[in-house]
Structure 1
Amino acid sequence: MRASVVIGLCCLLIYNANLRAITAGDTYPARYLPFAILQYHTIFFDPIEKVAAQGRGDGAFWIVHRPGRHTFSLYPIVVPVLIAPLYIPAVAYLHLRGWSDARLDRIARVMEKLCASLIAALSASLLFLLLRRRAKASIALLLTLAYAFGTTTWVIGSQALWQHGMAELMVIGALLFLTAPCTAPRTLAAGLLFGLIAANRPPDVILAAALGICGLYWAGRRRAALLAAAAALPMLVVMVYNVRVSGNVAGGYGLLGHAQFFAHPLFEGIAGVLVSPTRGLLVFSPFLVFVVLVWRYVPRDREERNLTLAISVAVVLHILLYAKADWRGGLSWGPRYMTDLLPFLMWMLVPVVTALRGIGRVSFLIAVGVSVAIEAIGAFAYSGSIDDPIYANDRGWQYHDLRAAWHWRNAPFIASFRHGLAPADLAVPVRGSFDGIERNGRAASTIIAGEEAFAAGWALAGDATPAQVSVMIDGRQSVTASTFFDRADVRRMLPEASPSGWRIPLDTAALAPGEHHLTAFVWPFAEGEGQYLDERTLTVRKAALPNLADFRQAAARLRAHQQAPGYWLTAFTSEPRFHEPRQEMNTFLTALLVDLLDPIAANAGLNDTLQRARLHLTRQIESGGLVRYHGLPDAPGIGTLGCVITPDTDDTALVWRIAPASDRSRLTAALATIDRYRTREGLYRSWLAPRENYQCLDPGSDPNPTDIAIQMHVIMLLSQVRPPAGRALCDALRPLINDDRVWVYYRKTPLIPILRLPDLRRAGCELTLPESRMQTAIPEQQIWVSVAKLLGNSSPDPELIRTVLRELARNDFALIRMNPPLLYHNDLTASVARYYWSEDAGYALWLRLYEEYEHSPNATPHG
């Protein structure tokens, strides 16, 4: 008994050594509901929903919303009810310090980790006692340590309140009773555990059934009825709860479950569950491969033999069940679905390990060591976002692409190792305030769509400046601040505090009229998890109708800004803000403006303007068919508005599509040159010359990159002149769409790639940009990203378009003049930074959006 206690205490210490929790939305009900149970005497989320939803509102999948009824947990209620007594000190602490949402969230995170680690440590302690009934102390200790640190017990069971940790504890408890002499109290306790195992996690009914069958033989005729009644009690209670709160005997699962969940190929699933690099049980815990030898060591004792047979059948059925499901198991470490049956496997290993000698024993010890090393990487380095590549090609419940789960580079223990140690964020207290929404320097709770507004407050991680603050709007979009300023009021209150003030601009033009919920989160560390700060409500009112006079004014400015030769000038800065810009001439902007304005040229009175622009572009085509970014080497602006620069793929493709020369032999020559700079992957490089012949270039880490927009522009050209080559390039680009290597000139501003998506669709190339790539790193540019998305939307919201138009046109287009679109930047790894802006592109985008509004079937007519 003493050894068991020592094992449990050591496990508890090691499980908490990383000073962080590894959680997911699945564990939030168990994290928060004990507070509702103890403080508000309810099993519903209603009184704590704001915190429990973590800013996601209706998008919090772990909370089930039913109109006019309580909000409740998607998952079974067993874990939060059983652990609620452990939360009594936490509730008392909150009463002592003051009950606030931020403090509740902080304490809930700590309590989740402590309770999960306590459950896992207790299961290891009891497992040792169980194994001692079959093996000597050394074997029992070895297998207990393998279970505690060489399986998902460590990274799943001990790090968050998944159902799996409680399932392990209850299975071990049930086995302890079944391997002890049968008495009435033990029969009652065993029956309750059987029922709780099934009620805690419905798929574990397989495990409960195996134990229950053995339990009936163990209890005998005298106590079989008691065992069955005890098992039925918790299941009946949970079913009554399910029916009362959800109207479905299966609870939240029954309301939101998908039939396709168990519609995956069986044999591929078996392989995925057992040997895939990302979820394979035998990959993460290779010592478990020795379980296959169990049939060489069949127990002589009849009861042990029957128990081994029953749990072996349960193991097989458990594997088959999850093989038919999406065996990846969400954003979670390793073979999570196999965690519940680990006690069975450890029980089965006892005679095998006892019999091992020589090389067999050494092999087993090595396998245990490898397992512990893998789990240690998970405990100290893994976070759920590391698994994002495994799901990158999924499309909701309709389509699951499992291929990425078979790539070794996506194995969590390999990917986590590359990321390094995860921060110990539970060791750093977060403090701060979400002061509210500011408009014109004053607090505001209601604004007109398009008005300038800021979310403001302060935050500290300990006494240090946090990595960032993020404000989530309606659980769907986030805006972030990573720069902080000194706040005198905070400094007076906390003299040791670092800069803590934050102020985040809000793109109110993109907010639909009505009430919006803004939730602030603080990241103590860049690689950690955001911690809840507070929530505010903002009401947005409709903007006025767009004005026809503004349309004419925007078109007039485009005509006025066009230079005599037919081009428009581009502004550039050395930092990602529009400050002290200088000007240059390049062919890219003129080509872009022709593309943008062509659909509306007649209505805007810009036909002659675009004709002049096309003539200018055609004149930039050299004898070999190539085009340079700054135009012809002998152009009048060379030396003042540009330099003699190396010809490039992007401008060549743009000009030949928009303003081709009559001599088609030059196009043939240009395509031949471009083909020479095609990579093995099928993409096209930027510069059309060897490195030693570069002119006026400051290359980055990749001196000749394959940027995404360049590929898009080449596809658009090839679709007209060489359709098979265009389709081949589209197919080559699609799997690399989220690769950092192709996000060279648009990493901070995805405006052009977003705008090109409809053009590509018309060219027969359907591409989808990852949502993470359709965000700007510069908050002030968010309105332009919104414009690009609206133009690419097949059915945009007229109200939203109207709001954006009014915001951009306000005060004589002040926003366009002071914060024009950032179109692209140079390679961020180059020695000198360059960011390229265009006021004229802003007017062109406004005109296009105005035209979109005019043709919207639900638009409100203007006078």
Structure 2
Amino acid sequence: MKGTDIKFAFFLGIGLLLFSIQGPVYYGSDADYVVPQLVSIFQHGDQNIDEYSHLYGEQYQIRKVGNHYYDAYPYGIVYLALPPAFLLNAIYGADYLSLHRDRIAVILASCLMAVATMLVFFMSRLRGLNRWRSGLLALFAGLGTSMLSTGSRAPWQQSGVMLIGMGLLCLLILHRRKKDAGTLTGMGLLLGLGFMVRPLMVLYAAGIGLYLLFDRESRKGLHFFVLPGLAVAALFVWQSFHLFDAPLPPYYLADSSGFNFDYANSIPGMLFSPNRGFFAWHPAFLFSAIALVSGTASSLRYAALRLRIAVSDFFPLPERKSTDQNIEIRSVAARVQNERTKDSFLPFALLIVLGHGFIVASYEPWWGGHSLGPRLLSDLIPLFLYALVPFIRRMDFAHPAFALTLFVCMAFSCVVHIRCIFVPEMGAWNRSPVDINLAPERVWDSDDLQWFR
């Protein structure tokens, strides 16, 4: 990575940060008590929100444990937001942060998403895109995805997942080059922190862990990956016992009453409905889906050919026929292996995507409650950006029709997501003419699009 790339990414991130904080829309809901926790840390050195105890029973985000009151949602995002919050506290003071908590929440979330878009740029450069194509993908991530409409509007759990997810992918690419312990340790630490941000980060841990397990060289140093993650998890368990007298916070121990398994409605709705569909809000990611599926198909073909070679070696045919067949099989296997090694992580990325999608589809409010677009699937944005890289590479004059199609898809998404941060009516869509939680079929209402409220 050249110094010019670092400068480019820095100014890109600063530009996106300044743009994002101009958007007046705060849309927090579940994330309403992140800033109060930060204020409590600065003023009292603890994370309880006893100052808001009078709202207990009225605000669903407040949970009473023993004699104290806590935010009901995971704490990891609070720790991710600490660095920019510390700077704002040094400038304005904790009282100011508390009085202007919605605005501060937007600034903190925008800082995290600015760093995430810088990581998108680095990921693209590490995967071989030139500087301008990498910048294009980073701009698309920062302006045309849920990084902007969800991630920058408040410090949601998803904001933290998108940031950590991009960090993991950068480290994974570096590890494929270096095969060193440092990148494994970094991934383990990030995944441990990620679990504190959102329990569904276990899917990232499983996908990346399986990838490393199947890689012969990485397998030898797998303890460098596992032990740091377990160390962070141990600290998390210790904190949970200290605060809640339980191994995990209440959010992680919730029962299954919120699951409904209405897949006939949830899967089409969360993927393709105009008001909540992941691909409706991110049509460019249809290309990413193609990459994920085709990459997995290549790996499966290679595995099948390797199995045929093993069988033919164990049960040889007559010499000449066996030799000819083996030469043919090995030749085909070599071609498929060359195709597969272009990105052998894609099958494991698809496993993460399918696992996450299955869990969200099983959840009763699969539409994400009061959200700006497909919030519950925004955890997957890093993986879809990763899979989009080969298509960004093909955006040139040699493929004009394809380049124009992809550019139009990206431009459409930018218009939609940028409107989310400047037009309050898009958030009001969730409540009028009838609350989305009471009438989830509104996700298919093409006469009242949240996009263009």
Same-fold status (TM-score > 0.5): yes
Counterpart of 2:35?
31
Question: By how many angstroms is 1:115 displaced?
Answer: 1.4
- CA distance in structure 1 between the aligned counterparts of 2:405 and 2:247, rounded to whole angstroms: 48
**Superposed CA offset, 1:433-460 (max 9, x none):** xxxxxxxxxxxxxxxxxxxxxxxxxxxx
Superposed displacement of residue 363, structure 1 = 0.8
Please report how far the alpha carbon of residue 26 of structure 1 lies from its aligned counterpart in structure 2 after TM superposition: 0.9
What secondary structure, in the 3-state scheme, does the structure 2 residue paired with 1:43 have? coil
Distance 1:186 1:15, change over 3 A: same
What code does the residue aligned with 2:234 have? Answer: L
Distance in 2 of aligned mates of 1:285 and 1:30? 28
Distance in 1 (alpha carbons) for counterparts of 2:219 and 2:97: 50
Q: 1:389 to 1:259 in 2, by over 3 A?
A: farther
2:63: which partner in 1? 64
Give runs of aligned pairs for residues 355-366 of structure 1, distance below 5 A: 355=394, 357-366=399-408
In structure 1, the partner of 2:102 is: 109
| TM-score, normalised with respect to structure 2 | 0.81
Question: Is the 2:369–2:436 Cα contact (8 Å) retained in structure 1?
Answer: no
Structure 2: runs of 5+ lacking an equivalent: 1-5, 299-336
In the TM superposition, 1:643-792 aligns within 5 A as: none
Cα distance in 1, alignment partners of residues 233 and 430 from structure 2: 34
1: distance between equivalents of 2:109 and 2:136? 23
Check the 8 A contact 1:21/1:109 in 2, yes or no.
no
Question: 2:111 and 2:222 mapped to 1: Cα distance?
Answer: 33
The Cα of 1:248 is off from its aligned counterpart by 4.1
- CA distance in structure 1 between the partners assigned to 2:83 and 2:18 by the alignment: 21
Per-residue Cα deviation, 1:466-515 (whole angstroms, up to 9, x for no partner): xxxxxxxxxxxxxxxxxxxxxxxxxxxxxxxxxxxxxxxxxxxxxxxxxx
Residue 379 in structure 1 maps to residue 421 in structure 2: yes
Aligned: 1:5 with 2:10:
yes
Tell me the distance in 2 between the aligned counterparts of 1:40 and 1:32.
11
CA-CA distance at 1:73 after TM superposition: 1.7
Q: Displacement of 1:329 after TM fit?
A: 0.7
**CA distance in structure 2 between the aligned counterparts of 1:327 and 1:154, rounded to whole angstroms:** 20
Matched-pair contact (CA < 8 Å) for 1:29–1:73 = yes
Structure of higher CA gyration radius: 1
Mapped pair 1:188 → 2:188: no
Structure 1 residue aligned with 2:372: 333
Deviations 1:347-377 (A, max 9, x none): 1111233235121111111111111111121
What per-residue deviation string (whole Å, max 9, x for no partner) do you get for residues 50-71 of structure 1? Answer: 6xxxx744221111113x4221
Paired letter, 1:361: A
Asked if the contact 1:37–1:84 (Cα under 8 Å) also holds between the matched residues in 2, the reply is: no
**Matched letter for residue 236 of structure 1:** A
Matched ranges for 1:382-461 at <5 A: 382=424, 384-389=427-432, 392=435, 401-415=439-453
Task: Check if 1:123 corresponds to 2:116.
Answer: yes
- Identify the match of residue 26 of structure 2 among 22, 28, 33: 22
The answer for the alignment partner of 1:234 in structure 2 is: 232
- Residue 273 (structure 1) shift: 1.0
Q: CA deviation at 1:218?
A: 7.8
- 1:94 is displaced (CA, Å) by 5.4
AA matched with 1:226: F
CA contact (8 A) 1:25 1:61 kept: no
Instruction: Answer 1 or 2: which has greater helix percent.
Output: 2
- The within-5 A match list for 1:257-296 is 257=254, 259-294=256-291, 295-296=293-294
Superposed displacement of residue 240, structure 1 = 3.0
Q: State the structure with bigger RCO (CA 8 A, min sep 6), 1 or 2.
A: 2
1:193-237 Cα offsets, whole Å, 9 max, x none, are 122222211122112221222244387244211210111122222
- Per-residue CA distance 1:525-548 (angstroms, 9 max, x = gap): xxxxxxxxxxxxxxxxxxxxxxxx
The alpha-carbon deviation at position 104 of structure 1 amounts to 4.3
Mapped to 2, the partners of 1:129 and 1:322 lie a distance apart of: 30
- Distance in 2 (alpha carbons) for counterparts of 1:115 and 1:387: 24
Change (3 A) 1:286 1:296: same
Amino acid across the alignment from 1:160: A
1:201 aligned to 2:244? no
**Contact 1:187 1:219 survives alignment (8 Å):** no
- Structure 1 residue 389, shift from structure 2 partner: 3.7
Structure 2 equivalent of residue 481 of structure 1: none
1:139 and 2:114 matched: no
User: 1:157 is matched with which residue?
Assistant: 151
Q: Report the AA paired with residue 132 of structure 1.
A: R
CA–CA separation in structure 2 for the residues paired with 1:301 and 1:343: 23
1:242 to partner: Cα distance: 2.8
Tell me the amino acid that sits aligned with residue 5 of structure 1.
F
Rounded to whole Å, the distance in 2 between the matches of 1:317 and 1:122 is 26
AA paired with 2:166? I
* Whole-Å separation in 1 of the counterparts to 2:338 and 2:33: 45
Letter aligned with residue 57 of structure 2: D
Give the alignment's Cα RMSD to 1 decimal: 2.5
The residue type equivalent to 2:109 in the other structure is A
Residue equivalent to 1:670: none
- Secondary structure in 1 matching 2:451: helix
Q: How far off its partner does 1:250 sit?
A: 4.1
Note the 1:552-701 alignment, pairs <5 A.
none
Quick one: distance in 2 between partners of 1:296 and 1:94? 52
- How much does 1:320 deviate? 1.6
Deviation at 1:301, TM superposition (A): 6.8
* Structure 2 counterparts to residues 237-248 of structure 1, below 5 A: 237-248=235-246
Q: Report Cα offsets for 1:779-820 as digits up to 9, x if no partner.
A: xxxxxxxxxxxxxxxxxxxxxxxxxxxxxxxxxxxxxxxxxx
In structure 2, C-alpha distance between the alignment counterparts of 1:292 and 1:302, rounded to whole Å: 16
Is the CA contact 1:322–1:337 (under 8 Å) kept in the aligned structure 2?
yes
Larger strand percent: 1
| Matched-pair contact (CA < 8 Å) for 1:207–1:341 | no
The number of aligned residues is: 397
Residues 412 and 382 of structure 1, relative CA distance in 2, 3 Å threshold: farther
- Give the secondary-structure state (helix, strand or coil) at the position aligned to 2:22: coil
1:274–1:296 CA distance, 2 compared to 1 (3 A): same
Give the match for residue 307 of structure 2.
none
Shift, 1:114, TM fit: 1.6
CA–CA distance in structure 2, aligned partners of residues 174 and 16 of structure 1: 26
Q: What code does the residue aligned with 1:43 have? A: Q
SS at 1:138's partner residue? helix
8 Å CA contact retained: 1:265, 1:323: yes
- Compared CA separation, residues 277 and 260, structure 1 to 2 (3 A): farther
| Aligned CA distance change for structure 1 residues 63 and 385 (closer, same or farther; 3 Å) | same
Indicate if the aligned counterparts of 2:56 and 2:62 stay in contact, CA closer than 8 A.
no
Residue equivalent to 1:172: 166
CA contact (8 A) 1:116 1:165 kept: yes
What fraction of aligned residue pairs are identical, expressed as a percent?
Answer: 21
In structure 2, C-alpha distance between the alignment counterparts of 1:218 and 1:234, rounded to whole Å: 26
Which residue of structure 1 aligns with residue 52 of structure 2?
49
- SS of 1:72's equivalent in the other structure is strand
C-alpha distance after superposition, 1:392-425 (max 9, x if no partner): 385xxxxx6422222124432222xxxxxxxxxx
Q: Do the aligned partners of 1:90 and 1:107 also contact (CA within 8 Å) in 2?
A: no
Note if 1:317 corresponds to 2:355.
Answer: yes
Residues 272 and 280, structure 1, Cα contact 8 Å, conserved in 2: yes
Which residue is 2:305 aligned to? none
Secondary structure of the residue aligned to 2:81 is helix
